[in-house]
Structure 1
Amino acid sequence: MPEADLLGLGAAVLIAGLLARLARRYGLPSVPCYMLVGIALGPGTPGPVLIGHPAELAVIAALGLVLLLFHLGVEFPVDEVLGGGRRLVVAASCYIGLNMTAGLLFGFALGWGASSALVVAGALGISSSAIVTKLLIELHRLTNAETPVILGIIVLEDLFLAFYLALLSPVLSAGDTTGEIVRDITLSFGMLAALLLVARFGARAVGRLLDTREDEVLAVVTIGLVVLVAGTAQEAGVSDAIGALLTGLVVARTRLRERVERLVTPLRDVFAAVFFVAFGLSIDTGHLGAVVVPVALAVAVTVVANLSAGIITARLFGFNQRGAANIGLTVLGRGEFSLILATLALSAGLDVRIGPFVALYVLVLAVLSPLLAAHSRHLARVMPDWLLRRDWTYVREETISTSCTHLDQVRVTETDAEECPECVASGSDWVALRLCTSCGFVGCCDDSPHRHASEHAARTRHPIIQSAQPGEDWKWCFVDETLVRAPLGTKR
């Protein structure tokens, strides 16, 4: 690499890091910041150029991609997926199916070719695990009832990623005939199956190969193994990303998992930043104008598909309108996988508009996703009752939580009362009835003139009420000011 480009790379990475630090203060993800620096300071944009020959960063950028996918494999929570049950699999399948189908149809509508349509489908169909996880943390929703479902969906998306890459890589290869494409797909899935078998039965051998007390040696040997497998997969006509992902799954089954994750994470972050900067460097801003309208339409398609999947998931798990809105808007962000697909497409010589299209699409959603997710209450207000369970009508805008610490005070959950005694005594009307789960007191709701249920809770300090309306079983904690739900998987 020329000295000038080395100097430019250092300056670009430093600027990207400082911009990402600024973005974090405002709740925005770092990936778009890295891309913006690459776009702004690359040869495709008028003005200062820090790196005049982006192609010379190819090896470093490839290492960033490999470490991203390897770390994803190491973190893959197999036990959570297996314990999520049939409903989680159905919810994730609906989410992936709706978004991928919408993306594929949109890709064909663009008219950029069948291979480009497959890339667009993946770019629009798979959300960013990093952005979703970051949103859940920053919005303080880790204890929400819908959060385990959201995490389950993105985990199954990551699993789907491996199979999609195995299918897409031969399609993007140089195979000209149907027979060659079929051969390449067979080889790709054969490689995938072989690595899965190693992950299932060869983890002990891999653990012995990597095992050492020295962190330095462990890091070097692990990175060497990952790059070797990724390179072997690439030479076999399979994506290097698949090799890296499956190597991560193998290492995750060894006793070295936590050490490897700790050692690789800083390397992943640095080289991944270079990967995203390099992607930005490849974007010619002269092509952005041609993709503004397609990007706007793609964002609209993604929002509709996500909200539809959120409603379906909420119906499966019995969440209210707020839960449906949280699911649909939290998993809206797109990031690393979309950019990986765009990189593969550009390397395969597909339509040059794919790069600017995906870059602008990711940037727009990276800004919209945190804003929409943070204001999901407003969407819940206008979401019709018939879309979800009727018993959530009264509390559609409230978040359901599994973090209430007062469940041990629940002693009464049933009542035969059909009227508010205090309203009857005073000759007043009431709207709906609430049951105190600590003592069994029945009072009217806050939409009633005298709000006897809330008055009783304030007087006695009994924390939880339950709806006493027929067919409703939700609970509200006055102390935590949240709907109360047992954790996912427990019997209600």
Structure 2
Amino acid sequence: MDHLVLEIGLAVLLIAVVGIFSTKLRFSVIPFYILIGMAVGPHAPKIGVFDFRFIESAPFIEFLGRLGVLFLLFYLGLEFSIGRLIKSGRSIAVGGTIYIVINFTLGVIYPLALGFPIEETLVMAGITTISSSAIVAKVLVDLKRTANPETEMILGIIMFEDVFLAVYISILSGLVLSGSTSLGGVLLSALYALGFMLAFLIIGRKAVPLLNRVLNMRSNELFLLVIFGFLFVTAGFSETIHVAEAIGALLVGLVLAETEHLKRIEHFIIPFRDFFGALFFFSFGLTIDPFTLGGAVWLALGAVLITLFGNYSAGLLAGRYAGLSPKASTNIGLTIVSRGEFSIIMANIGLAGGLLQIIQPFAALYVLILAILGPLLTKESKTIYKYANKLLRLDRGKMAVQKNNPNET
């Protein structure tokens, strides 16, 4: 640990350099953070007598990255309010169900069609179903889309996914790690997750007058300590009852968005969001071993194509049900296409259960591709919508011509 401070300093410097480079290219910064992490991670090759690998600091950087996820989701929650989500409650429930059903069904069919055993199939379906909260939050903030009408649906789907995740991890852990699972335990996990989120939002909304009084302090130091304490304790407690800590952070943001101190909180939290958020994507790159990815190329590419189709379809259907425009619906499907931290959790369950070794490199490559491709597709969603709409009009035109001239071949 003698060089821990030096490695952290070098990591921040590398992140800054690739950030400047991506800005010059007018490109999403997320892929660059991940790729530079891979290039200097513990799995990277040693170059001659020089060792540029981040080995000693990797666990600490990973912890700082976890803080980055909390700040990203916390800020995203601040951009909304409990009231706005409640108004869209039914649409969110239906949209989340559509998203999970489509993506999970495709995630099961794909490995089964390739002949994978049932346990491996269920792990791979989990890997391909859950989107990355951290990447989605980062993209929404970077592209300044937090005020867009479809963002409420995106947030709702993220929360809906977490309830599904709590249930699914319980089932998967029972099947893969112990060979059995308890229906009562699964239902209890689901009730804990859903009950905690609903109770937190309801109590939080009623506690807004109290929060206004508590946060009415001149000292910026004490103000930050209270906010951070509330954030970290809630996120940590969420994890103990099988609700992702990132969702706990989101809930805190949603509650504090109702207070009269919103602008002050945002002012202080933005630098932490940007700094620790960048470290998350760098730390994510550190975990990927580039030399294990080759054998899973075609398997991962097939899964990527299926995910793109599933997300695009789910976004259109969910947006249509919520009364959103086709353009906004396209944004939903493309924004939540990124995969990340939750997919890696699923892959680790497979590793602990002694399943086929192909799952680890498959998950790493699949996540890497979508972590890079997702932000790019989201940024270009307007162009993609125009192109898809143009193709649709051409197709409708051909159908109209054939209908008017049935004898033409």
TM-score, length of structure 1 as denominator length: 0.64
Residues 335 and 269 of structure 1, relative CA distance in 2, 3 Å threshold: farther
How far apart are 1:309 and its partner, in Å? 4.5
Any idea what the Cα deviations from partners look like across 1:390-429, whole Å, max 9, x if unmatched?
99x9xxxxxxxxxxxxxxxxxxxxxxxxxxxxxxxxxxxx
2:14 is equivalent to residue 15 of structure 1: yes
Aligned to 1:303: 308
Residues 360 and 98 of structure 1, relative CA distance in 2, 3 Å threshold: same
Matches within 5 A, 1:414-429: none
SS in 2 for 1:255: coil
Aligned to 2:33: 34
Aligned to 1:339: 340
Select the residue among 274, 284, 289 that pairs with 1:284. 289
Residues 39 and 205 of structure 1, relative CA distance in 2, 3 Å threshold: same
Residues 266 and 123 of structure 1, relative CA distance in 2, 3 Å threshold: same
How far apart are 1:160 and its partner, in Å? 2.5
How far apart are 1:107 and its partner, in Å? 6.4
Aligned to 2:210: 205
How far apart are 1:235 and its partner, in Å? 3.2
Q: Partners of 2:200 and 2:93 in 1: how far apart?
A: 23
2:106 is equivalent to residue 102 of structure 1: yes
Aligned to 1:51: 54
Q: Which amino acid aligns with 1:328?
A: T
How far apart are 1:377 and its partner, in Å? 3.5
Q: Partners of 1:81 and 1:231 in 2: how far apart?
A: 23
How far apart are 1:40 and its partner, in Å? 0.9
Q: Partners of 1:28 and 1:128 in 2: how far apart?
A: 16
Aligned to 1:65: 69
Deviates more, 1:359-368 or 1:125-134: 125-134
Aligned to 2:261: 256
Query: Do 1:20 and 1:30's aligned partners in 2 also have CA atoms closer than 8 Å?
Result: yes
Any idea what the Cα deviations from partners look like across 1:130-169, whole Å, max 9, x if unmatched?
42564577xxxx9xxxx95543432333442443444355
Matches within 5 A, 1:439-478: none
Query: Do 2:77 and 2:257's aligned partners in 1 also have CA atoms closer than 8 Å?
Result: yes
Residues 199 and 329 of structure 1, relative CA distance in 2, 3 Å threshold: closer
Q: Which amino acid aligns with 1:342?
A: S
Select the residue among 360, 363, 368 that pairs with 1:352. 360
Q: Which structure shows the bigger proportion of residues in helix conformation?
A: 2
How far apart are 1:184 and its partner, in Å? 3.4
Aligned to 1:328: 330
How far apart are 1:42 and its partner, in Å? 0.3
Q: Partners of 1:125 and 1:67 in 2: how far apart?
A: 11
Aligned to 1:266: 271
Q: Partners of 1:352 and 1:233 in 2: how far apart?
A: 27
Q: Partners of 1:128 and 1:113 in 2: how far apart?
A: 26
Query: Do 1:166 and 1:242's aligned partners in 2 also have CA atoms closer than 8 Å?
Result: no
Query: Do 2:70 and 2:246's aligned partners in 1 also have CA atoms closer than 8 Å?
Result: yes
Q: Which amino acid aligns with 1:362?
A: A
- Tell me the matched-pair count: 378
Q: Partners of 1:206 and 1:360 in 2: how far apart?
A: 42
Any idea what the Cα deviations from partners look like across 1:422-461, whole Å, max 9, x if unmatched?
xxxxxxxxxxxxxxxxxxxxxxxxxxxxxxxxxxxxxxxx
TM-score, length of structure 2 as denominator length: 0.75
Q: Partners of 1:62 and 1:124 in 2: how far apart?
A: 13
Aligned to 1:218: 223
Matches within 5 A, 1:85-96: 94=98
Q: Which amino acid aligns with 1:43?
A: P
Q: Partners of 2:135 and 2:396 in 1: how far apart?
A: 24
Identity %: 26
Matches within 5 A, 1:172-187: 176=178, 177-178=181-182, 179-187=184-192
Q: Which has the larger radius of gyration?
A: 1
Q: Partners of 1:71 and 1:136 in 2: how far apart?
A: 13
Q: Which amino acid aligns with 2:340?
A: L
Q: Partners of 1:135 and 1:268 in 2: how far apart?
A: 15
SS in 2 for 1:352: helix
Query: Do 1:279 and 1:343's aligned partners in 2 also have CA atoms closer than 8 Å?
Result: no
Q: Which amino acid aligns with 2:369?
A: L
Q: Which amino acid aligns with 1:64?
A: G
Residues 294 and 304 of structure 1, relative CA distance in 2, 3 Å threshold: same
Aligned to 2:163: 163
Matches within 5 A, 1:90-169: 94=98, 97-103=101-107, 105-106=109-110, 111=116, 112-123=120-131, 128-131=136-139, 134-135=142-143, 148-168=148-168
Q: Which amino acid aligns with 1:24?
A: T
SS in 2 for 1:123: coil
Aligned to 2:356: none
How far apart are 1:245 and its partner, in Å? 2.1
Q: Which amino acid aligns with 2:203?
A: V
Query: Do 2:331 and 2:378's aligned partners in 1 also have CA atoms closer than 8 Å?
Result: yes
Q: Partners of 1:318 and 1:108 in 2: how far apart?
A: 35
Query: Do 2:153 and 2:332's aligned partners in 1 also have CA atoms closer than 8 Å?
Result: no
| Bigger RCO (CA 8 Å, 6+ sep) | 2
Query: Do 1:71 and 1:268's aligned partners in 2 also have CA atoms closer than 8 Å?
Result: yes
SS in 2 for 1:244: helix
Deviates more, 1:212-221 or 1:305-314: 305-314
Query: Do 2:154 and 2:332's aligned partners in 1 also have CA atoms closer than 8 Å?
Result: no
SS in 1 for 2:360: coil
Gaps of 5+ in 2: 352-358, 402-409
